[in-house]
């Protein structure tokens, strides 16, 4: 594929996917969030560490999943957005320990563990707009999670990489660039799918 066309192809796909998310009824989004939480047991064993995130807007809801993981005895790390769009991490201590931050985000209020803390996770849950069957993920284009994936590679860490999506966001092909790294799993309301 022509690399000059790639950013336009990604941008167009992002626009379509975001529009489709906004069209989902609140009841559909809530049902999807509850279904995702039902897969907590498939993602991590008690005592494991999972790096996750707090969903915003029409993203597949993560709040029930975060609480289900904690209830199973999983240590959950959540990101804290840094001024340069990199991510620091802090432990999730429950819904009352989240505070509003910039860009409409909710972030953990606990001590910061540093950007490298993600390398200790057994599973990293990534936001995304789509993934294809080979594991190539389309993010929002901000680069924060590309940095996380690069940091994991530099550290030699090999956590399970999973993207949380709605059913219609598992695609046959996602446009990819050389820096894009594949993920291992798609977590959908209907179940967990191995990719690649």
Q: Give the pTM.
A: 0.94
pLDDT of residue 5: 60
Element containing residue 65 per DSSP (H, E): helix 63-71
The whole-chain average pLDDT of the chain stands at: 94
Feature table: binding site for ATP? 10-14, 137-145
pLDDT of residue 2: 45
- d(CA 131, CA 184) in angstroms, rounded, equals 10
Feature table: binding site for substrate? 54, 59
Feature table: binding site? 10-14, 54, 59, 137-145
Domains, the chain: 6-141+152-194 (3.40.50.10420)
Residue 187 has pLDDT above 70, yes or no: yes
- d(CA 52, CA 62) in angstroms, rounded, equals 8
Do 159 and 125 form a contact (C-beta atoms < 8 A)? Answer: no
Residue 50, classed as helix, strand or coil, is strand
Do 109 and 98 form a contact (C-beta atoms < 8 A)? Answer: yes
Helices 63-71 and 26-37 sit at what angle, rounded to 10 degrees? Answer: 20
């Amino acid at each position: 594929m022509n690399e000059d066309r790639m950013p336009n192809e990604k941008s167009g796909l992002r626009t379509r996917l975001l529009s489709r998310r906004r069209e989902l009824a609140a009841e559909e989004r809530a049902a999807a969030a509850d279904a995702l939480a039902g897969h907590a047991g498939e993602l991590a064993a008690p005592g494991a560490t999972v790096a996750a995130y707090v969903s915003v807007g029409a993203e597949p809801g993560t709040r029930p999943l975060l609480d289900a993981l904690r209830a199973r005895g999983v240590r959950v790390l959540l990101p804290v957005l840094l001024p340069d769009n990199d991510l620091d991490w802090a432990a999730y201590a429950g819904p009352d320990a989240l505070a509003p931050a910039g860009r409409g985000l909710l972030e953990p209020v606990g001590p910061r563990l540093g950007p490298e803390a993600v390398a200790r996770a057994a599973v990293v849950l990534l936001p995304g707009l789509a993934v294809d069957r080979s594991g190539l993920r389309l993010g929002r284009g901000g680069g924060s999670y590309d940095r996380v994936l690069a940091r994991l590679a530099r550290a030699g860490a090999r956590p399970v990489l999973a993207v949380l999506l709605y059913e219609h966001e598992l695609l046959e092909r996602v446009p990819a660039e050389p820096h894009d790294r594949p993920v291992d799993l798609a977590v959908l309301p209907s179940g967990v799918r191995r990719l690649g």
